[in-house]
């Protein structure tokens, strides 16, 4: 079994490159087998990231795709 652990050291909110990871705020997305650790310049950037609304296209497909059919084929 292959585990994938990716570390991002670029703050996704402000584009700042994090050179020292010690004591930097971070978020781990994913699960134990496949995850992404995202580091942030500060707590405000982390909170902005956490507050972002994320679309979940696997739910409510009809409204997400502007498709009123139940089978999503039209």
**How does DSSP assign 53-68, residue by residue?**
----TTSSHHHHTT--
Phi first, then psi: give them for residue 24, nearest 5 degrees. Answer: -85, 140
Average pLDDT in the chain: 83
What pLDDT does residue 31 have?
Answer: 85
What pLDDT does residue 74 have?
Answer: 46
pLDDT digits (tens, 9 = 90+) for 58-71: 665 555 555 555 55
Q: Which residues sit opposite 28 in a β-bridge?
A: 37
């Amino acid at each position: 079994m292959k585990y994938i652990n990716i570390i991002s050291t670029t703050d996704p909110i402000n584009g700042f490159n994090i050179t020292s990871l010690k004591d930097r705020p971070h978020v781990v997305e994913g699960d134990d087998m496949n995850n992404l650790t995202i580091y942030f310049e500060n707590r405000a950037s982390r909170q902005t990231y956490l507050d972002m609304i994320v679309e979940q296209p696997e739910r409510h497909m009809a409204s997400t795709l502007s498709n009123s059919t139940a089978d999503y084929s039209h």
